[in-house]
Structure 1
């Protein structure tokens, strides 16, 4: 990609402080995500922008490691502020986080089906469960207070009084909300009968999935799958 006769890579000549601006692109569990940003309009040789639009390369550099650089190609209406492009680029991290949470917390990829209808049911259920956790988190107070335990010693002074002042704590994560709610919705999840019933249900499905896998590939069936 080029901007006039200047390559985009020339902007990265080990960081010209004049063209970099430090901005936040979103919130993470550890706080605001700050990066150094710059942008440059570009012309694509094989693609023209739509009327009233333009292509822009948004360049992001790590605030702690200048060698860590990423590029974002945007196609936005003319006059779109760079701050808006940064906000949109930051949403990619949130989308990836949601996918990871769906897999790790709710088993998005833990299905053993090969047809559209059961797959769609599983994915829809997981998506609704993730939305439920997100809505539950959004409904919590913005700045909950966590009172510290009163000190047993020494007698109250100005210093100890300040140490007992309630301090803000972060909102519980989706994983924590799931951990708290799961025993309330599924009180018998750890009962031996439930565990055994789950195992008895799962193993035949595993066998059918393996059988379908071997048949699709045309491989000879292993001994334990032969009737």
Structure 2
């Protein structure tokens, strides 16, 4: 349920009530086969906006299947739809990075027992993944493997 100026409503209802002209075809960023284009629309939500800040329900509709995904966004009140779509598109890069860290640096190989140990494991796994990424990048350029200082 999303809070609006008129009470609460389901995300599907808010987006279904939008006119066709509210949808814009925008790219969510570059993909392996070119731009990842979708239809995007947004609805302002939450009645208690802070000065200069706002909340939106952002909808992404697939061009081929029509399937809709939803995001709740927060940011400067003047944020444009194209900016919300671009930022939502960064999710793929973040998920890909986490998947690589799981595969290459053991990010997912830990049983949580306490906060400090979990935090140390996550920090070391992400740092190891970053080092591996830089080393791989330098190796493809023909540069020597980075060394510790």
Q: How does 1:127-146 map to 2 (within 5 A)?
A: 127-136=126-135
Structure 1 segments unaligned to the other structure (5+ residues): 142-180, 182-227
Q: Is the 8 A contact 1:3 1:43 kept in 2?
A: yes
Change (3 A) 1:73 1:111: closer
Q: Is structure 2 residue 50 aligned with structure 1 residue 50?
A: yes
Q: Which has the larger radius of gyration?
A: 1
| CA drift at 1:37 | 0.5
Change (3 A) 1:10 1:123: closer
Q: How does 1:32-71 map to 2 (within 5 A)?
A: 32-44=35-47, 48-66=48-66, 68-71=67-70
Secondary structure, in 3 states, of the residue corresponding to 2:58?
strand
Change (3 A) 1:71 1:137: farther
Over the aligned positions, Cα root-mean-square deviation in angstroms equals 3.3
* Higher fraction of strand: 2
Change (3 A) 1:69 1:107: same
Deviations 1:146-179 (A, max 9, x none): xxxxxxxxxxxxxxxxxxxxxxxxxxxxxxxxxx
Runs of 4+ with >3 A deviation: 1-8, 28-31, 111-122, 133-141
| Alignment TM-score, normalising by the size of structure 1 | 0.49
| Alignment TM-score, normalising by the size of structure 2 | 0.70
CA distance in structure 2 between the partners assigned to 1:58 and 1:96 by the alignment: 19
CA distance in structure 1 between the partners assigned to 2:41 and 2:137 by the alignment: 32
Alignment-derived partner of residue 96 in structure 1? 95
Alignment-derived partner of residue 193 in structure 1? none
Structure 2 segments unaligned to the other structure (5+ residues): none
